């Protein structure tokens, strides 16, 4: 039976700027080893270097995030934002650091509509108008000052080296740059740094980013003063405005990270700690798990089990559309959404033999987000842990790199609902809770998550736009079945997001017999042309004394588990 959060909010939005540190099951002792799983081996190595220098998991998170900003310029970066879920082993506190980007003050509700009221997607995806005010630099400073033990000069050193000396591209880089070649080629700086002869470079190309190295050095030296209020701020604003944007120096100076209370709930004997708004992740995940807890999944055959999971996804994603947005701007009926009686009500028309048509649910729409982003997971020897999902939205963000900064700016403005009922890239529609407003944070799907059972601790998350939440759900169900991190990251993926009313599944992800069984229940299936997601998971088995980490086989990440050197 589900117990809804000991720490649930009242029914309305969250208080701004509060520091709420939530106590969850504290472990008496740590695993005695360190573990990192990230989307890039050099980012994992950066975290290892910092842990070996005596840092804790939070210092490692700064190092990994900064290195990913350099080596995965299509996924995340200091021109973007993200979420960090942090666990302090000493007192069992969990807290959620919200470094989501904010809309500039000159943003307006209809800023992406033309004179006929038609949505112009190009404006919300490419160029200066697409970029929201970055949060990641402020997050790195905040983590270092509030949770870490080492100075930024030490934790940012690996990323600075990587930017100055360069990194070698892989197949994923070729894919991402190929997907965004046209937009990258329109920005003279992006063209120069990220393309070769105007095209995506072949694997093995060295990408050197000296301006980014200098920007990171300045962050280490002045704690973000120049980035948010000084010379770099002036370069950023000039670059954005030259690219058609509306940023001002005041927008950068006004940016603040928030520490928020995570979503906490129980699924059987597993405590789920996950992302609160402005991410939809934790709420949708817990809503789906609340529905699923009503069924004996182990007793169902595979087709019936998938059917029930798909129906839970459908109903939980519907609520994403209807209710969720920036909690500082939108009243969210959090207690109701997370309540087990509400899950019973959602499941009342869940027929084990037939798909529920989405248009038979109360109408509303939502829109998901872009296709890139990144995630990493860390546990240190003491048991401190971090799950961080970071983004600049679609690959290479807005593709704007303001001259002199090396900073790839996000296009997170496209995560807002630009116009009610207008389908986005994924065919979904949005709602008023996620409408554009000055200084507002766009709704996210990023779902950094901890899973804590009496025996095991899991740390997981993934990129993947709207599919992030369904991937974390599938990973959590694998964990609940006793799966190790390899199984969690390797599980076949399927997805339902309410609208479009179809089950998306990754290439070769569902066996023919399973597809037939789902179609016989009335589901429309849509094979996604390639695999998706890039999950990074760690599992610490406290009883067995094992610590394991795994990077998604679909990506090019690197995971590492090692014992600290003797002092």
Among 369, 380, 501, 552, binds ligand GLY (CB under 6 A): 369
Instruction: Please say which residue, 391 or 417, places its beta carbon nearer to ligand GLY.
Output: 391
Q: Which is nearer to ligand GLY, 393 or 399 (by Cβ)?
A: 393
Min separation Cβ 497 and ligand GLY, Å: 12
Q: How far is the CB of 228 from ligand GLY (least distance, A)?
A: 21
Using CB under 6 A, which of 218, 405, 444, 536 touches ligand GLY?
444
Q: How far is the CB of 427 from ligand GLY (least distance, A)?
A: 16
Catalytic residue (choose from 169, 181, 330, 373): 373
Number of Cβ within 10 Å of residue 356's Cβ equals 17
Kindly write down the DSSP assignment for every residue of 347-386, as one continuous string.
GGG--TTSPPPGGGSPP-------S--EEEEEE-TTS-EE
Nearest-approach distance from CB 342 to ligand GLY, in angstroms? 24
We find the least distance from the C-beta atom of residue 262 to ligand GLY, in angstroms, to be 17
Query: Closest distance between ligand GLY and the C-beta of residue 445, in Å?
Result: 4
Q: From the CB of 444, what's the least distance to ligand GLY, in Å?
A: 3
Q: Smallest Cα–Cα separation from 70: which of 152, 173, 1, 185?
A: 173
Question: Structure tokens of 34?
Answer: 């360190």
Asked whether position 415 contacts ligand GLY by CB under 6 A, the answer is yes
By the 8 A CB rule, do 332 and 10 touch? Answer: no
- Give the whole-angstrom CA distance, residue 3 versus residue 287: 12
Span interacting with ligand GLY, options 235-243, 367-375, 397-405, 523-531, rule CB under 6 A: 367-375
Sheet holding 503-506, edge to edge: 494-495, 503-506, 525-528
In this structure, are residues 483 and 390 in contact, taking their beta carbons and an 8 Å threshold?
Answer: no
Residue with tokens 């919200």: 98
Smallest gap from residue 126 Cβ to ligand GLY (A): 15
Residues 6+ apart with CB under 8 A from 145: 223
Does residue 373 carry a catalytic annotation?
A: yes
| Of 38 and 462, CB closest to ligand GLY | 462
* Contact range with ligand GLY by CB under 6 A, out of 311-319, 340-348, 438-446, 494-502: 438-446
Q: Which of 276, 282, 370, 558 binds ligand GLY (CB under 6 A)?
A: 370
Candidate ranges 91-99, 428-436, 442-450, 502-510; the one touching ligand GLY (CB under 6 A): 442-450
Q: Tell me how crowded residue 343 is: count the other CB atoms within 10 A of its CB.
A: 25
For residue 2, the SS3 value is coil
- Residue with structure tokens 């029930």? 308
| Sequence-separated (6 or more) residues with CB below 8 Å from residue 219 | 78, 137, 140, 141, 152, 156, 226, 227
How many CA within 13 A on the CB side of residue 533? 35
Q: Taking contact as CB under 6 A, which single stretch among the options 254-262, 282-290, 440-448, 525-533 is the one that binds ligand GLY?
A: 440-448
How many other C-beta atoms can be found within 10 angstroms of the C-beta atom of residue 297?
16
Query: What CA–CA distances, in Å, run from 521 to 183, 298, 362, 506, 524?
Result: 42, 20, 21, 20, 9
Q: What is the DSSP string of 164-226?
A: HH-EE--HHHHHHHHHTHHHHHHSHHHHHHH-BTTBPPPTT-EE--HHHHHHHHHHHHHTTHH
44, 445, 449, 551: which one binds ligand GLY (CB under 6 A) = 445
Window 327-366: contact mask with ligand GLY (x via CB under 6 A): ----------------------------------------
How much of the chain is in helix, strand and coil states, percent to nearest 5?
A: 35, 15, 45
CA distance 470 to 455: 25
* Nearest residue (CB) to ligand GLY, 31 versus 397: 397
- Kindly state whether residue 217 participates in binding ligand GLY, applying the rule CB under 6 A: no
User: Residue from 76, 205, 391, 417 that binds ligand GLY (CB under 6 A)?
Assistant: 391
E strands along 364-454, which residues? 374-379, 385-391, 449-452
Among residues 44, 155, 274, 393, the one that binds ligand GLY under rule CB under 6 A: 393
Query: 338 by DSSP, 3-state: which?
Result: coil
By rule CB under 6 A, what string of x and - marks binding of each residue 460-499 to ligand GLY?
-----x----------------------------------
Q: Nearest to ligand GLY by Cβ — which residue?
A: 444
Q: Which is nearer to ligand GLY, 57 or 392 (CB)?
A: 392
- If one asks whether residue 72 binds ligand GLY (CB under 6 A), the answer comes out as no
Q: How far is the CB of 471 from ligand GLY (least distance, A)?
A: 12
Select from 132, 147, 130 the least CA-distant residue to 61: 147
Residue of 143, 289, 343, 446 that binds ligand GLY (CB under 6 A): 446
User: Site for ligand GLY (CB under 6 A): which residue of 42, 373, 417, 534?
Assistant: 373
For residues 4 and 339, give the distance between their C-alpha atoms in angstroms, rounded to a whole number: 6
Q: Which is nearer to ligand GLY, 156 or 429 (CB)?
A: 429
Binding mask 265-284 for ligand GLY (x = CB under 6 A): --------------------
Q: Which residues are catalytic?
A: 373
Kindly list the residues in this chain that would bind ligand GLY in the complex (CB under 6 A): 369-370, 373, 391, 393, 412, 415, 444-446, 465
């Amino acid at each position: 039976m589900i117990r809804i959060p000991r720490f649930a909010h009242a029914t309305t939005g969250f208080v701004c700027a509060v520091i709420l540190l939530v106590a969850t099951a504290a472990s008496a002792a740590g695993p005695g080893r360190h573990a990192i799983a990230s989307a890039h081996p050099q980012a994992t190595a950066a975290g290892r270097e910092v842990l070996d220098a005596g840092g804790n998991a939070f210092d490692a998170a700064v190092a990994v995030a900064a290195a990913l900003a350099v080596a995965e310029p299509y996924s995340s970066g200091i021109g973007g934002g993200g979420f960090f879920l942090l666990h302090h082993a000493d007192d069992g506190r969990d807290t959620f650091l919200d470094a989501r980007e904010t809309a500039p003050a000159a943003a307006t509700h209809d800023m992406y509509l033309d004179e006929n009221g038609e949505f112009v997607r190009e404006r919300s995806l490419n160029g200066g108008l697409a970029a929201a005010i970055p949060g990641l630099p402020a997050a790195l400073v905040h983590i270092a000052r509030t949770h870490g033990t080492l100075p930024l000069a030490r934790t940012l050193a690996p990323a600075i080296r990587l930017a100055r000396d360069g990194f070698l591209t892989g197949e994923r880089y070729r894919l991402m740059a190929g997907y965004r070649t046209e937009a990258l080629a329109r920005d003279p700086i992006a063209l120069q740094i990220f393309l070769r002869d105007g095209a995506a470079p072949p694997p093995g190309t060295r990408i050197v980013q000296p301006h980014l190295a200098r920007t990171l050095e300045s962050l280490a030296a002045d704690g973000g003063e120049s980035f948010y209020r000084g010379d770099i701020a002036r370069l950023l604003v000039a670059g954005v405005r030259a690219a058609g944007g509306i940023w001002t120096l005041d927008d950068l100076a006004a940016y603040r990270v928030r520490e928020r209370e995570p979503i906490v709930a129980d699924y059987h004997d597993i405590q789920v700690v996950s992302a609160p708004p402005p991410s939809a992740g934790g709420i949708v995940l817990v809503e789906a798990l609340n529905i699923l807890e009503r069924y004996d999944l182990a007793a169902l055959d595979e087709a019936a089990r998938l059917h029930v999971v798909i129906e839970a996804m459908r109903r939980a994603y519907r609520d994403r559309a209807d209710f969720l947005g920036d909690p500082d701007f939108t009243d969210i009926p959090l207690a109701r959404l997370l309540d087990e009686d509400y899950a019973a009500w959602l499941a009342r028309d869940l027929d084990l033999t037939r798909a529920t048509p989405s248009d038979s649910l109360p109408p509303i729409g939502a829109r998901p987000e872009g296709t890139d982003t990144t995630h990493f997971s860390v546990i240190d020897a003491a048991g401190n842990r971090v799950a961080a999902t970071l983004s600049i939205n679609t690959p290479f963000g807005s593709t704007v790199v303001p001259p002199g900064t090396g900073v790839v700016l996000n296009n997170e403005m496209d995560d807002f609902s630009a116009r009610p009922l207008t389908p986005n890239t994924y065919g979904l529609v949005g709602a008023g809770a996620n409408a554009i407003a000055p200084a507002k944070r766009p709704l996210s799907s990023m779902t950094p998550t901890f899973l804590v059972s009496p025996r095991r601790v899991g740390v997981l998350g993934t990129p993947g736009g709207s599919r992030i939440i369904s991937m974390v759900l599938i990973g959590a169900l694998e964990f609940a079945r006793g799966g190790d991190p390899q199984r969690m990251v390797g599980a076949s993926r399927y997805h339902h997001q309410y609208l479009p009313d179809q089950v998306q599944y990754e290439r070769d992800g569902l066996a023919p017999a399973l597809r037939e069984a789902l179609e016989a229940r009335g589901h429309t299936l849509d094979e996604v042309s390639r695999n998706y997601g890039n999950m990074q998971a760690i599992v610490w088995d406290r009883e067995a004394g094992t610590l394991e980490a795994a990077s998604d086989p679909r990506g090019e990440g690197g995971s590492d588990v090692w014992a600290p050197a003797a002092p």
